[in-house]
């Protein structure tokens, strides 16, 4: 059900469809994208951040940039699993949200460095994690400025798709940047890496097999979950010298926390079940 807004800018508002009508799905996603920024701003003015609010905002905008990017990657797999084609209309919004939080993240980093441009430039080149972060940022800007109909017409459908396929390379660069900033707890980074592995695996399956069913998605879920466990164990072994086998064994201990591998497995299983339910519904629904 849709309603037609009366504002003159309706056709350009992020919560409307191409005809200028209100889309409840786009409105809900738009509000969800804005909510973290509003929450950060409210806590800042209420004095609920740490004595270094710029540092807190720097960290949280970086977190939300990566989460929005992963959410954008999730749209196509979820659309395939559920056949809810309308879900596609929010992918651009999620990508632009990731870009907006990335730019805010950079702005807070500039503020943390007191806008000393010489130091900012030198650190951007000399510090590997910053250099990788800049590569991801430039890639996201390239995708952001071409996320419109005019760019699709200029580049052509094939050229546009080839350009935007770089989103996975950008996600990898963002994850490397994120892992290099982790101090002790890599849970969030491992979770995001595992979800990216799940969605990248889906892309490879679709490229090789075209349309595929719930069994393939089920296998993909277990592979992505296992890959997440390996990523987490590999990080701790490399960064802290921890015994990788002990980290892997921690995935079987549910007394403290559910490890990222299980969340990724759950996400993959949810996709497989959604596809299975859709296929069963199509079989039992009589054709007109």
pLDDT score, position 255: 81
pLDDT score, position 86: 86
pLDDT score, position 207: 82
153 token code pair: 């017409």
Q: What is the C-alpha separation between 220 and 268, in angstroms, rounded? A: 7
pLDDT score, position 286: 57
The proportion of the chain whose per-residue pLDDT surpasses 90, expressed as a percent, equals 63
Residue environment code for 235-248, b if the CB has 16+ CB neighbours within 10 A, otherwise e: bbbeeeeeebeebb
pTM of the model: 0.90
pLDDT score, position 1: 44
pLDDT score, position 107: 96
Q: What is the C-alpha separation between 230 and 244, in angstroms, rounded? A: 8
What is the maximal distance between C-alpha atoms in the chain? 70
- DSSP for 113-136? TTT-HHHHHHHHHH-HHHHHHHHH
pLDDT score, position 57: 95
pLDDT score, position 8: 54
* Sequential pLDDT tens for the chain (288 residues): 445 544 555 556 788 877 778 888 999 999 999 999 999 999 999 888 888 899 999 999 999 999 999 999 999 999 988 888 888 889 999 999 999 999 999 999 999 999 999 999 999 999 999 999 999 999 999 999 998 888 888 988 888 888 888 999 999 999 999 999 987 889 999 999 999 999 999 998 888 876 778 899 999 999 999 999 999 999 999 988 889 999 999 998 888 889 999 999 999 999 999 999 888 887 776 555
């Amino acid at each position: 059900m849709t309603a037609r807004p009366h504002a003159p800018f309706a056709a350009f508002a992020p919560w409307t469809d191409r005809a200028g009508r209100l889309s409840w799905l786009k409105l809900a996603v738009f509000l969800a994208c804005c909510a973290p920024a509003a929450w950060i701003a409210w806590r800042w003015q209420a004095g609920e951040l740490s004595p270094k609010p710029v540092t807190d905002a720097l960290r949280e905008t970086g977190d939300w940039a990566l989460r929005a990017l992963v959410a954008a990657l999730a749209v196509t797999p979820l659309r395939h699993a559920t056949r809810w084609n309308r879900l596609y209309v929010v992918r651009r919004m999620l990508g632009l949200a990731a870009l907006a939080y990335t730019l805010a993240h950079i702005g807070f980093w500039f503020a943390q460095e007191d806008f000393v441009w010489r130091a900012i430039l030198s650190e951007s080149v000399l510090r590997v994690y910053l250099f990788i972060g800049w590569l991801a940022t430039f890639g996201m800007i390239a995708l952001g400025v071409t996320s419109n109909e005019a760019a699709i017409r200029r580049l052509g459908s094939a050229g546009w798709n080839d350009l935007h396929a770089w989103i996975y390379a950008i996600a990898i660069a963002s994850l490397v940047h994120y892992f290099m900033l982790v101090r002790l707890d890599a849970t969030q980074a491992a979770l995001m890496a595992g979800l990216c592995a799940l969605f990248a695996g889906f892309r490879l399956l679709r490229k090789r097999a075209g349309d595929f069913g719930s069994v393939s998605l089920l296998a993909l879920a277990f592979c992505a979950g296992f890959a997440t466990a390996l990523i987490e164990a590999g990080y701790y072994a490399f960064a802290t010298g921890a015994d990788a086998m002990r980290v892997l064994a921690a995935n079987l201990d549910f007394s403290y926390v559910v490890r990222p591998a299980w969340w990724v497995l759950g996400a993959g299983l949810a996709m497989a079940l959604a596809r299975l339910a859709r296929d069963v519904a199509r079989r039992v629904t009589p054709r007109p």
